[in-house]
Amino acid sequence: MQAIRSTLTHGWIQVLFGGLILFYALNNVYQATGNPNFVPSLLVLGAFLVPVVLVLWVYEHPLPERIPPSAVAWNFLWGGALGVIVAGMLEYDTYRTLGFLPLLAVGLIEEAAKLIAPLVFFLRWRYRSEMAGLLFGLASGMGFAALETLGYAFTALIASRGNVELAEFVLLVRGFLSPAGHAAWTALVTATLWRERVHHGHAGLTRATLGAYLLAVALHTLWDTFQIKSSVTRVDWLSIEVLSALVALSSVTLLARRYREARRQAVAAASAMSGSQRNGSPS
């Protein structure tokens, strides 16, 4: 019982269950009244719930340095918004032909656009741990994913002439998959960038950083390719879905590895600081 009470005190748990309850209540009120004024609230809440919960979950774990909530919120809001704006402007012509090269361009553009806000903190170099880099990239990627999901849900609502159930299905699927997409890809790059600067200097621009960015682009491109193929053809539909699942699993695995490494470095840094304080304290 004590463990349950302790778990329920976490902000991410409260936001998750509170958000689910609010979404359920809004949906029931809409179904009962048919009032379209509730639809925007449903879309916004559904699009932002999972991204906010994931960022909170990482933030509430012990960090190697004090990072104010405002810094995380700044990356989430500005990172997501600037990423969507810049990517949308640069991608305008790439969607005219759905071949491999346009999709590769989309991956290059979006993975770069999501780095704008984290790079501001990187250049200031106030927060220097790998965990800080991972957290800022995760927040920016999740902000981007939330706004993108909101756009897809709204498009589904309009295309279906007001089918709210279809829009909610889009929110469910994209919300469930968001940690395996934009969050994982951006966090992979930023965590590597911060780690390389700490270990090697050179502003973090090493082969490992470039490799992480190209890997994120490759995963992004593969994901988009499989999703488009699954939507425009029924040939080998199951195989395409299996390949999409493998891309998602690979992305989550890479994110988990970066997170575990950042946690190990945080623990090592805390132990070193504690040891230095003990050695420097008067006997």
- Distance (Å) of CA 114 to CA 55, 72, 187, 210: 15, 14, 10, 15
Examine the pLDDT at 130 and tell me if it is beyond 80. Answer: yes
- Whether the predicted model's global pTM rises above the 0.75 cut: yes
CA angle 149, 211, 88 (to 5 degrees): 30
How far, in Å, CA of 46 to CA of 50, rounded? 8
How far, in Å, CA of 184 to CA of 189, rounded? 9
Confidence band of 232 (pLDDT split at 50, 70, 90): low
Residue 11: the pLDDT is 87
* pLDDT tens-digit map of 17-56: 999 999 999 999 999 998 999 999 999 999 999 999 999 9
How far, in Å, CA of 195 to CA of 205, rounded? 10
* pLDDT tens-digit map of 82-122: 999 998 888 776 655 545 557 788 889 999 999 999 999 99
Residue 283: the pLDDT is 38
| Among the listed residues 256, 253, 251, 262, the one whose alpha carbon sits nearest the alpha carbon of residue 111 | 251
Query: Average pLDDT over the chain, rounded to whole?
Result: 86
More confident residue, 154 or 7: 154
SS (H, E, C) the chain: CHHHHHHHCCHHHHHHHHHHHHHHHHHHHHHHHCCHHHHHHHHHHHHHHHHHHHHHHHHHCCCCCCCCHHHHHHHHHHHHHHHHHHHHHHCCCHHHCCCHHHHHHHHHHHHHHCCHHHHHHHHHCCCCCHHHHHHHHHHHHHHHHHHHHHHHHHHHHHHCCCCHHHHHHHHHHHHHHHHHCHHHHHHHHHHHHHHHHHHHCHHHCCHHHHHHHHHHHHHHHHHHHHHHHHHHCCCCHHHHHHHHHHHHHHHHHHHHHHHHHHHHHHHHHHHHHHHHHHHHCCC
* pLDDT tens-digit map of 131-163: 999 999 999 999 999 999 999 999 999 999 989
Owner of token pair 């499989």 = 226
Residue 224: the pLDDT is 85
**Does residue 59 contact residue 72 with C-beta atoms inside 8 Å?**
yes
50: alpha, beta or left? (left if phi > 0; alpha if psi -120 to 50): alpha
- Distance (Å) of CA 167 to CA 33, 98, 170: 18, 24, 5
* pLDDT tens-digit map of 265-277: 877 766 666 555 5
